[in-house]
Amino acid sequence: MYENFFGFKEKPFKLVPNPDYLFLSKSHEEALAHLNYALSQGDGFVEITGEVGTGKTTLCRAFLENLDDDAVAAYIFNPKLGPRQLIKTINDELGIRYNTDNTKNLIDNLNNFLILQKTRRKKVILLIDEAQNLSNNVLEQLRLLSNLETSKEKLLQIILVGQPELSDILDSHELRQLGQRITLRYHLSPLTPKECVDYIQYRIDIASQKSGLKFDRAAYRPIYKYSRGIPRVINIVCDRVLLTAFGLSKTSITGKIARDSIKELKSRGASRNFVLLDWKKITALCGAAFAILAAAIFHQPLGQGIQSWFNQMQNRQIEAKAPEEPVLKPTAASDPSGVQDDGLVASEDSHQDDADDSTLTASGEADLNPVDKSDLRAAKDTKMSIPQNYDTEFSDETILASSASQQEAEDYAQEPDRSETIKLADYLTAMDIRASRYLALQVAMDLWQTPIEVQPYLNSLDDDQAFFRLTTKPKGVFMHRIETSLEMLKRLNLPAILELFPTGGEEPGYLTLSKIEGRNFIFNSPDENKVVAADADQIYLYWSGVAYLPWKNFLSIWGIIPKRSNKDSIITLKLLLHELGFSDVEINDEYDNWTRQAIEEVQAKYGIPVDGFVGPLTKMILYQEKESFEMPRLTN
């Protein structure tokens, strides 16, 4: 529509993964370097993650297009396949002929092909995009395929590319054998403000014939603020900006044109958000009714028994062995469990589905189908085993110790006497950007009463998400990256490390949000005699929207229920729901519709994506509902 007016040979901001338009930000450049390094070293498994819209697919296609003649690649971009279908697809992509659907014969054909390529000194690569959608069975099949090797090297190199929840899946206890084989990991970061400017100009230059188009400097800031550096969102905004300018017959993009275009984009979602908000209010009232029911249950013997078990689980949690960390190579690498979006940008409870199961929406949440009845029948036919650590007996001494510990936590959470309150703008101006990441993490872990010491090699990581996760995990604390809003953080009610850009700065600094008092958001600084205070409007001037949430998995509910978890975790979840007042939930190892409805009820109450899946964010809010768990909170 506007191509001729601006002198474009094609639209510069089309939402297609065209490798010609790949803009190599620092993060994308490092990701490509990781892929090329892994290829040259013959590494068996490589993992690349990134938020929705950060350019993962474009990166994959650029990587494949630039492979040398000594490499053969199979590219799978729709991984909703069963194990046998996966092998058939790999064989199809590699041009391997087969006359049978027998899994053994398919693998034999593949193995013969790999050996032949090895004799020709060729490398064979399997690249799977959207790998967070792979089922457990398929991931296990991939692990078995990685066993195709000679005595010296792998015959097949596997690259898994997906959303941040892919890392959580590979770190799960069930997939620890596969997770330990990941030799190289990298997380794609959003663009910095400067990279956003360069990205827009780069795409215009590629699409231009004789473009007279000019973006004023004032136009870039609202575009970056709205997009948060996500290339796909930048494309959407810029396409709307060009359409608006075309309608006004303007060849210069001003700040006003950019702001008006963004306002129009926001208004398109207003009606949907309004309807959702009303529905959430209704479900919140239902949640209040269940809370009353929960209070009644607490006085019943069953409630007392379950309460005892929960307390004992808390005490035993510290003895639980954390999943082993996959091998980390000394290279720089760059989440929401699940993502969140404008509320939560990358889906909350990241999950993966089999070919016949539910599909992911654009936000990363699931489009739910009813629970498969055959699965439920199979579960009923299976003899249920109660978790080994299930115990309804609880001594008076332990109860007293737990109460004392809770009181210590409450005393610890009391705001210490501060001598000075600093404005956010002033603090950011004087902030030591390079040291802020470690200092903010130290403050956050102190709030969790879990002191840390950072290994020198971790400090050298450029990837903030990897730094936070690798530093906290040995202490039994998980770190969840989300792109969200202050309102959502307030609902989650947990301290968070915020990514902030000082005025004119290209590198982010970090501060730990520790408390909310009325309209003021309080940040703890490393100096105990100082706090930083700001209202929401001030924070949004500097905040990228990225936050890191430390949390503890108090009851060892592993995986993403119901897709990726064990029976013990489902039983534990249902006991917790029963304790929270959902008395219709039957205590067994079956994730039934009653359980799903209870989870959706809690999700709606907190305003996170309502999908019925239990991932990191849903676990956080369930633990929030159980007030006896010792954790720091933003509000009392």
Q: Which residue range forms the structural domain that includes residue 86?
A: 26-188
Q: What is the CATH number of the domain that holds 226?
A: 1.10.8.60
The gap between the terminal CA atoms of the chain, to the nearest Å, is 55
Sheet (strand 71-76) strand order: 71-76, 123-128, 157-162, 45-50, 182-188
Look up the pTM and report it.
0.49
Q: Which of 40-54, 310-324, 506-520 has the lowest mean pLDDT?
A: 310-324
Last residue of a domain, one of 166, 188, 210: 188
Flag whether 242 is in a domain: yes
Same domain, 252 and 206: yes
274, amino acid identity: F
Same domain, 141 and 129: yes
Same domain, 132 and 66: yes
Same domain, 149 and 255: no
Flag whether 579 is in a domain: no
Residue 595 pLDDT > 70:
yes
Last residue of a domain, one of 204, 235, 268: 268
Flag whether 282 is in a domain: no
Residue 320 pLDDT > 90:
no
Flag whether 539 is in a domain: no
Residue at token pair 């004023």: 216
Q: What is the CATH number of the domain that holds 30?
A: 3.40.50.300
Same domain, 152 and 222: no
Radius of gyration of the chain (CA): 26
Flag whether 544 is in a domain: no
Count of domains forming the chain = 2
CB 599 within 8 A of CB 366: no
Residue 6 pLDDT > 70:
yes
Residue 596 tokens read as: 């799903």
Residue 192 tokens read as: 């910095």
Q: Calculate ∠ Cα 388-390-391, nearest 5°.
A: 125
- Cis peptide preceding 562, ω within 30 of 0: yes
How far is 213 from 230, CA to CA, in rounded Å? 22
Same domain, 96 and 160: yes
- The pLDDT tens digits for 343-365 are 344 334 433 333 333 333 333 33
Residue 497 pLDDT > 90:
yes
Same domain, 184 and 60: yes
- The pLDDT tens digits for 225-262 are 999 999 999 999 999 999 999 999 998 999 999 999 99
Last residue of a domain, one of 188, 213, 240: 188
Flag whether 288 is in a domain: no
- The pLDDT tens digits for 31-62 are 888 888 888 888 778 999 999 999 999 899 88
Taking all residues of the chain, what is their mean pLDDT, rounded to a whole number?
Answer: 77
How far is 443 from 93, CA to CA, in rounded Å? 50
Same domain, 158 and 223: no
Distances from the Cα of 481 to the Cαs of 252, 331, 464, 499, in angstroms? 37, 21, 10, 11
How far is 532 from 512, CA to CA, in rounded Å? 10
Residue 632 CB partners (closer than 8 Å, separation 6+) = 409, 413, 447, 448, 494, 495, 514
- The pLDDT tens digits for 87-106 are 999 999 999 988 887 888 99
Residue at token pair 């503890």: 552
Same domain, 153 and 196: no
| pLDDT confidence of residue 502 | 87
Distances from the Cα of 434 to the Cαs of 66, 146, 438, 459, 462, in angstroms? 35, 39, 9, 10, 11
Same domain, 209 and 160: no
Flag whether 184 is in a domain: yes
Same domain, 114 and 146: yes
SS3 462: coil
Residue 171 pLDDT > 90:
no
Q: Which of 178-192, 313-327, 533-547, 560-574 has the lowest mean pLDDT?
A: 313-327
| pLDDT confidence of residue 279 | 36
Q: How many helices (H) and strands (E) does the chain have?
A: 25, 16
Of 568, 584, 169, 231, the closest CA to residue 390 belongs to: 568
Residues in the chain: 636
Residue 166 pLDDT > 80:
yes
Flag whether 395 is in a domain: no
Residue 573 pLDDT > 60:
yes
How far is 432 from 78, CA to CA, in rounded Å? 44
Same domain, 184 and 240: no
